[in-house]
């Protein structure tokens, strides 16, 4: 099959049939195949004339960038570029200028075609291009800008180029040959049983490669492509009304991301989309984690005939690589000319177990960034970054590799939390992120019994610290959940907590007690109230951030099933007040098992010193008059010790002289002592080996500072 030849035949056969329908708030525009063919022929002529007039641009396989302010113009110009035998790439004019310039440079764009409206908007990105032609078509004015640089992708012929969304890592430029996308088009055309009577929704922007599937399923069958404006797409109810409640030929095939689909309410889906009399033949969801099969069992009307598919793929092997019936929990079977394997971290093949999914092919090979592809029919595998469980050639998606974290000594998958939340009845969209405190924040579109559901289905270490309800999830231009925006919202929520909840240490502890035991405060102990070792660590972590001198003995009290009042007594013992420069004499007892009523008297020493890493040395504890105040950090002084410092600094304070010193060593072998507040170097010495241990001090005060320390070679 030759894609362009087949498209030409379809255009000739169905010349008078409607090919493209565009709906906006201003009304409906329709194009026949004949209309598109005429306009594309003009575009081909303009491209050919431009390149023929430029001697340096006569080589084959040039890449042409498209910037269009209306999405229905893209199919027309794409067909014109393909008729001219060139490669196309659809650009996002709303992207930051530096990103546009970077993409133009990486692709070594030979020419840019854009509407004159956008030429002013992105003028900063056109400095290395020259406008050589202006023409009017379809009521708009277009410009052609050329560059004299040679296209570096001349080793192979590509149909189009696309940039990955960056949702699973750094954005990449992917150049896609016809041999890579054609098997997808052929298989899905047969699987979906596409005919000239179908109406296919164009749900994806043309910067997202699933749009190529939608476009060529239309162009190779004589079906109609139904497009809507971005303004309508942005509002779920407006999109629903446009697709299913207006007087036009019914939509029969939809391919979109799960999040875009799940924005509609279960009631609307059941009554207007997956109802008994639905004309929708195919609903194919891909690009994100697929909803649990129970979701569709609950929202489909009895007797609904719509076929539901789960499509899995990566842009690096554009576009889809696996397909399954949406009623099962697995990723399904490999698509044509595609091989699927699972490998461990060492690259060994796994046939039963958990590993990373890799996609391979000898024909479906894209060029990623500037890589040099081998000649001939070489089998190339691409890692996906997705963890799956394989058993008997069935693949179950588990998580993104970079979404698995270590928490309290346990491996926790944020995707597992998301998946579990989406299995809760009434929750159709969920997503997990970490905030700046590394707390698990779960966003859901409904909070109906979600907390209770998660406690039943997740291990304790995986339970989210905070659950936030947002009815409308932020989306990227590709229709995926915008992780960066959710992380920003999680951090803003944390900042709001800090600003609006000016609690003292006792009030804050009571809030955490209720949050992590999920029970009202009574006379029960921490464990009896629903707490455990994980929630105890979570409480201590948050307490330590807000109140840095929280007692390390608190963890013992919690795990010994003490009551809230007993724990508060310990906290009261930690608070040091500074009234009239007279310190509060209360201190906590390090041996809490003997009873927290016992208090230590504060003894004024000649010198007090301390080391970090969670321990205090000496018989006294440094006084802190700022326990309940906000702490900010700033550079006061710095000193170069030659190499990295692994040892904790040792603080030495002379009370009578009111002098504070700090001693520290580094991997360079240099040991130095400074005045704490001024940073003045009092003395330093170079030892024969690197220093990793901290300084210890004699406590006799007879001969200044005598330091005792161990070097890397275990000598003293």
Tell me the DSSP string of 524-558.
SBTTTTT--HHHHHHHHHHHHHHSTT--TTHHHHH
Is 90 exceeded by the pLDDT of residue 696? no
Q: Which of 149-153, 384-388, 616-620, 706-710 has the highest mean pLDDT?
A: 384-388
Task: Output phi, psi for 107, to 5 deg.
Answer: -80, -10
Write the DSSP string, 244-286. HSSSSPPP-EEEE-HHHHHTS-HHHIIIIISSTT----EEEEE
Measured between alpha carbons, how far is 577 from 585 in angstroms, rounded to an integer?
9
> Which residue spans of the chain are classified as CATH 3.40.50.980?
32-173
Is 70 exceeded by the pLDDT of residue 327? yes
Residue 191 tokens read as 């699987």
292: DSSP letter? P
Q: Which of 156-165, 311-320, 641-650 has the highest mean pLDDT?
A: 311-320
pLDDT (tens digit, 9 = 90+) per residue, 168-180?
A: 556 789 999 999 9
pLDDT of residue 138: 95
Is 70 exceeded by the pLDDT of residue 603? no
Is 70 exceeded by the pLDDT of residue 620? no
Is 70 exceeded by the pLDDT of residue 565? yes
C-beta separation of 326 from 310 below 8 A: yes
Tell me the C-alpha to C-alpha distance, in Å, between residue 629 and each of 41, 85, 566, 576. 72, 68, 24, 12
Angle in degrees, 0-180, between the axes of helices 450-457 and 414-422, rounded to the nearest 10: 120
Residue 608 tokens read as 């007090």
Q: Which of 118-122, 154-158, 301-305 has the highest mean pLDDT?
A: 301-305
Higher pLDDT, 244 or 575: 244
Q: Which of 350-359, 463-472, 532-541 has the highest mean pLDDT?
A: 350-359
Query: What is the number of other CB atoms lying within 10 angstroms of the CB of residue 234?
Result: 11
Residue 283 tokens read as 């609903």
C-beta separation of 663 from 676 below 8 A: no
> Which residue spans of the chain are classified as CATH 3.30.300.30?
408-500
pLDDT (tens digit, 9 = 90+) per residue, 349-389?
A: 999 999 999 999 999 999 998 888 877 668 899 999 999 99
Share of the chain above pLDDT 90, in %: 51
Q: What fold characterizes domain 408-500?
A: GMP Synthetase; Chain A, domain 3 (3.30.300)
pLDDT (tens digit, 9 = 90+) per residue, 581-601?
A: 333 333 333 333 333 333 323
pLDDT (tens digit, 9 = 90+) per residue, 244-265?
A: 987 789 999 999 999 999 999 9
Is 90 exceeded by the pLDDT of residue 713? no
pLDDT of residue 167: 57
Is 90 exceeded by the pLDDT of residue 676? no
Higher pLDDT, 508 or 132: 132
Question: Average pLDDT for residues 665-683, to the nearest whole number?
Answer: 85
Query: What is the number of other CB atoms lying within 10 angstroms of the CB of residue 121?
Result: 15
Quick one: CATH architecture of 32-173?
3-Layer(aba) Sandwich (3.40)
Is 70 exceeded by the pLDDT of residue 142? yes
Residue 634 tokens read as 């700033």
Residues 6+ apart with CB under 8 A from 396: 329, 330, 331, 388, 389, 390
Q: Provide CATH code, domain 505-578.
A: 1.10.1200
Is 80 exceeded by the pLDDT of residue 705? no
Higher pLDDT, 523 or 613: 523
Is 50 exceeded by the pLDDT of residue 611? no
Which band of pLDDT confidence, cut at 50, 70 and 90, is reported for residue 283?
very high
Question: Average pLDDT for residues 452-468, to the nearest whole number?
Answer: 91
Measured between alpha carbons, how far is 585 from 619 in angstroms, rounded to an integer?
15
Measured between alpha carbons, how far is 365 from 314 in angstroms, rounded to an integer?
12
pLDDT of residue 33: 97
pLDDT (tens digit, 9 = 90+) per residue, 387-405?
A: 999 999 999 999 999 999 9
Measured between alpha carbons, how far is 396 from 390 in angstroms, rounded to an integer?
6
pLDDT of residue 709: 57
C-beta separation of 650 from 611 below 8 A: yes
pLDDT of residue 593: 32
The overall average pLDDT reported for the chain is: 83
State the number of CA atoms in the 13 A half-sphere of 545 facing the CB.
14
Q: pTM score > 0.75 for this model?
A: no
> Which residue spans of the chain are classified as CATH 1.10.1200?
505-578
64-68, 162-166, 210-214, 462-466: lowest mean pLDDT where? 162-166
Is 50 exceeded by the pLDDT of residue 62? yes
pLDDT of residue 226: 98
Task: Give the H/E segment covering residue 664.
Answer: strand 659-665
Task: Output phi, psi for 681, to 5 deg.
Answer: -80, 110
């Amino acid at each position: 099959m030759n894609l362009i030849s087949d498209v030409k035949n379809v255009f000739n056969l169905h010349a008078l049939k409607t090919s493209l329908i565009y709906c906006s708030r201003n009304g409906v525009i329709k194009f026949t195949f004949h209309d598109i063919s005429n306009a594309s022929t003009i575009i081909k002529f303009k491209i050919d004339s431009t390149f023929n007039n430029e001697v340096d641009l006569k080589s084959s396989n040039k890449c042409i960038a498209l910037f269009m302010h209306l999405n229905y113009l893209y199919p027309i110009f794409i067909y014109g570029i393909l008729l001219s035998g060139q490669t196309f790439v659809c650009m996002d004019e709303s992207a930051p200028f530096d990103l546009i310039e970077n993409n133009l440079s990486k692709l070594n764009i030979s020419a840019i075609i854009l509407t004159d409206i956008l030429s002013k908007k992105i003028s900063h990105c056109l400095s290395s291009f020259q406008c050589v032609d202006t023409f009017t078509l379809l009521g708009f004015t277009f410009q052609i800008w050329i560059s004299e640089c040679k296209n570096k992708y001349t080793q192979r012929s590509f149909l189009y180029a696309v940039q990955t969304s960056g949702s699973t890592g750094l954005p990449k430029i992917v150049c896609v040959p016809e041999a890579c996308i054609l098997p997808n088009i052929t298989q899905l055309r047969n699987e979906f049983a596409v005919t000239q009577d179908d109406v296919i929704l164009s749900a994806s922007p043309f910067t997202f490669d699933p749009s190529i599937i939608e476009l060529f399923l239309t162009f190779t069958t004589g079906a109609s492509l139904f497009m809507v404006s971005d303004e309508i797409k942005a509002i779920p109810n407006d999109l629903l009304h446009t697709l299913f409640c207006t007087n036009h030929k019914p939509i029969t095939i939809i391919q979109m991301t799960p999040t875009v689909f799940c924005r509609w309410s279960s009631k609307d889906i059941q009554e207007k989309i997956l109802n008994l009399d639905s004309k929708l033949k195919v609903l194919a969801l891909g690009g994100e984690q697929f909803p649990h099969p129970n979701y569709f069992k609950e929202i489909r009307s009895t007797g609904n005939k719509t076929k539901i598919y789960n499509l899995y793929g990566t842009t690096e092997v554009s576009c889809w690589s696996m397909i399954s019936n949406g009623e099962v929990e697995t990723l399904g079977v490999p698509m044509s000319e595609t091989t699927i394997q699972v490998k461990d971290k060492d690259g060994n093949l796994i046939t039963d177990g958990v590993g990373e999914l890799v996609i391979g092919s000898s024909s479906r090979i894209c060029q990623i960034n500037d890589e040099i592809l081998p000649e001939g029919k070489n089998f190339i595998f691409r890692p996906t970054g997705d963890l799956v469980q394989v058993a008997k050639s069935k693949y179950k998606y588990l998580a993104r590799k970079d979404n698995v974290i270590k928490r309290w000594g346990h491996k926790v998958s944020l995707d597992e939390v998301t998946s579990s939340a989406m299995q809760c009845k009434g929750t159709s969209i969920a997503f997990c992120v970490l905030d700046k405190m590394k707390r698990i924040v779960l966003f859901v579109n409904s909070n109906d019994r979600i907390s209770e559901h998660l406690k039943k289905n997740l291990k304790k270490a995986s339970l989210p610290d905070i659950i936030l309800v947002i009815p409308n999830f932020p989306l990227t231009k590709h229709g995926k959940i915008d992780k960066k925006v959710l992380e920003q919202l999680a951090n803003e929520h944390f900042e709001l907590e800090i600003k609006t909840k000016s609690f003292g240490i006792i009030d804050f502890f009571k809030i955490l007690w209720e949050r992590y035991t999920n029970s009202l405060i009574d006379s029960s102990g921490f464990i009896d109230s629903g707490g455990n070792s994980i929630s105890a660590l979570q409480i201590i972590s948050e307490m330590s951030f807000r109140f840095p001198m929280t007692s390390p003995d608190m963890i013992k009290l919690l795990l010994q099933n003490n009551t809230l009042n007993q724990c508060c007594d310990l906290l009261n013992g930690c608070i040091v007040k500074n009234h009239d420069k007279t310190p509060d004499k209360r201190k906590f007892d390090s041996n809490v098992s003997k009873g927290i009523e016992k208090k230590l008297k504060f003894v004024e020493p000649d010198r007090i010193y301390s080391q970090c890493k969670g321990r205090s040395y000496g018989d006294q504890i440094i006084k802190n008059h700022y326990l309940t105040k906000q702490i900010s950090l700033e550079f006061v002084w710095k000193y170069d010790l030659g190499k990295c410092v692994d040892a904790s600094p040792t603080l030495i304070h002379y009370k009578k002289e009111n002098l504070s010193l700090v001693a520290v060593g580094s991997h360079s072998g240099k040991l130095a002592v400074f005045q704490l507040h001024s940073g003045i170097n009092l003395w330093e010495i170079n030892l024969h080996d690197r220093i990793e241990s901290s300084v210890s001090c004699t406590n006799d005060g007879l001969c200044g500072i005598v330091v005792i320390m161990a070097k890397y070679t275990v000598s003293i």
